[in-house]
Amino acid sequence: MVCRNKTEDELTVTGPNISKQTKDAESWKDDQEKDEYYGRYWPLYRMIEKNDWQGVEDFVTNHPDALTAKIVEPGSMTIFHMIVELLIDAESDEAICLLDKLASKVDPETLARQDNHGHTAATLSAAKGNLRALKLLVKYNPDLTNIRHGEGFLPVHDAALYGHKDTFHYLLEVTHGVDIYSGKDGANVLSFLIAANLYDVASDLLKRHPTIGRDSIDSRRIILNTLAQKPYAFASGSRLGRLQRLIYNCSCQLSFANTQTHLYSIPVEKELVPSIQTNDYHDLDGDIESFIVTSKIHSKESTRFGSTQQITTTFGAMLHKLHRMLWNALMHLSPGIKGIHDQKLTHMRTVEIVRIICEGVVWTNFQNSAQLSVAMLAAAILGIPEVVNEFIMAYDSSSNWSNQDGHTIFDHAVLYRREKVFNLIQGVNFTTFLFSSRDKAGNNILHLAGRLVPSSEVAGAALQMQRELQWFKAIENLVHPFFREATNDLKQTPREVFTEEHKELVKEGEKWLKETASSCSVVAALIITVVFAAVFTAPGGSDGRGMPNFLHDQSFMIFAISDMLALFSSITSVLMFLGILTSRYAEEDFLVSLPKKLIIGLITLFFSIASMMVAFGATVHISLSHKWNSVIIPIALVGCVPITLFALLQFPLLLDMYSSTYGRSIIIESSWRELTSCQIVAKGN
């Protein structure tokens, strides 16, 4: 094309504008070629998806190139990837036989092809736990176990991460090209086992391989960080009912002569007892054997049946075996007991793992402490006292470690209301300056206690307000008097922080208490009306002098006494609820005053309802005992229904309120003088 320049009298030649059209044409051609290419294997994909293995075999017979072709984009997903990925029944003999036949027709490099994530077919088999397919693939290419995918992990790591125990054990045996028991590979193996809740396998590896997870501080950090994120793997995070907790904790101890054989209600063989519960442990079977040997060597007193010590020890061994047989039978008969047993084993193993990882660390090296402190602080935030306790036992000064905000483990325990972690202060030796530090905002630990921490474990705004006050009062007793009036960077004292943070909670608690008191007072007032009127309408009528006809009848005496008790208790209940309604609702009232009134009100209301129903039953007996004796018992049983319903509906609230007000203290009861003089340590130990 020729055009004239307007400014210059010359001709310019420009080529046709075909670049964009050419690119579009090429792109369309590429798309068409891709459609043709992948469309050729689309029927194969659909057959694999439906697990039609005969159809897959026929297709490969007719199209041999399908063995090495890319079936799915992106990446290089081959037919082997697709069979392993889409296999529904891992135990299908037909599928495994077909996989064996196809794998025998290709070279090892084809089996080592990786998809866009770097996964080989063997990697997918390990992640899915398809042990049969994995063994078959490794048979034709043993190097598949050494190929890392995009994230840098081996098939053995994927088997551990997804919790396939049998597949993991197999890969441990066949992975030879890489040392998976040391370095970051070893740490990741343990970390993934812990993440998959395979604590027994992780514990066994730690015992069998001294270097795994402990050859560098980074390896220890990886494992401890993983454990610090699993609160439910420890006893403190278990959610057991009262009966389950009784079975879990129940243990008996038999003492024989110079032996100390602990027989736990839930027998646990060759496991370490967590130091959070006790400072020593016993290998039961080993102890018994050593006791028998010792008694044979050192026996001094002999009888016609043998040495005294040998007799007592042998008797203890027999009792131990009988005890174990009994519990094994119970665990077979009751899956619930076996579940509690397994849970206890898990709790013991996790603490043992933490203890092993913490051993041998040079804690006075600042770099070591800095790397491992993250795990301890995370455990304090999530409320895992077992992990924090192991750190303190390994290095007492770890209680002074802090994060970038200047918060120590006890600061975190207060910030997140972790009373079990905070109570570990009993085992800390350096307590003189423990609560004298400030964070970056100038807050001391009492300022942190003044912050509002919503809790899902405490029901009701009033109970939560009471809990917040209990925390604040407890910390207030532990800090030096100077820090009670100290101000932060915002010029706020701890009490001012508490008041500001809890304004809305006070309003919510006031609203909840008033609604509860109003509802209950209406019921109590109705009871007063009924039982007061019943006094002047004696059942069975009166004579001419106004004396009840059944005055000397036992049922009438029951009626009179129960009616008076119902009247007095309901009046007391109304007065308690009236006291709640007219309260000034100051912060301190939520600590004892208001909960106590609600407890008394609910108890007296329940008692008045029960007494009223007894009076009703006595009245029915007086009126109907001469005519329909057979209906008295059913009516009395029906009369128990309202009492039972009230108890079931209100008892949980009453129990929570009573245990929160009069139960054991949330944290240790001590003073700042005992803390600074280390007397609190003596209490704890």
Calculate the alpha carbon distances from 75 to 40, 65, 406, 506, 640 in Å.
Answer: 17, 17, 48, 60, 72
Low-confidence ranges of the chain (pLDDT < 70): 1-35, 73-76, 250-313, 315-316, 320, 323-324, 327-335, 427, 429-433, 538-552, 624-632, 636, 667-685
3-state secondary structure of 262: strand
Q: Break the chain into its structural domains and give their ranges.
A: 20-171, 179-388, 389-504+669-684, 517-627
pLDDT score, position 539: 64
Contact call for residues 70 and 77 (beta carbons, < 8 A): yes
CATH architecture of the domain covering 20-171: Alpha Horseshoe (1.25)
Distances (CA, A) of 193 to 157, 205, 272, 350: 9, 10, 19, 12
Q: What is the pLDDT of residues 299-315, one digit of tens each?
A: 444 444 455 666 666 76
Q: Look at residue 45 in the predicted model and tell me its pLDDT.
A: 87
Report the b/e string of 121-134 with b at 16+ CB within 10 A.
Answer: bbbbbbbbbbbbbb
Superfamily classification of domain 389-504+669-684? Ankyrin repeat-containing domain (1.25.40.20)
In the chain, count of helices (H) and strands (E)? 30, 6
Tokens 């090296």 correspond to: 365
Is the pTM higher than 0.85? The answer reads no
Residues 6+ apart with CB under 8 A from 432: 676, 678
Q: Are strands 2-4 and 302-303 parallel, antiparallel or unpaired?
A: unpaired
- Residue ranges of alpha helices (H) inside 536-671 are 554-581, 593-624, 632-662
Taking CB atoms within 8 Å and a gap of at least 24, the contacts of 309-315 are 309/257, 309/258, 312/256, 312/257, 312/259, 313/256, 313/257, 313/259, 313/288, 315/256
670 — phi, psi (to 5°)?
-155, 180
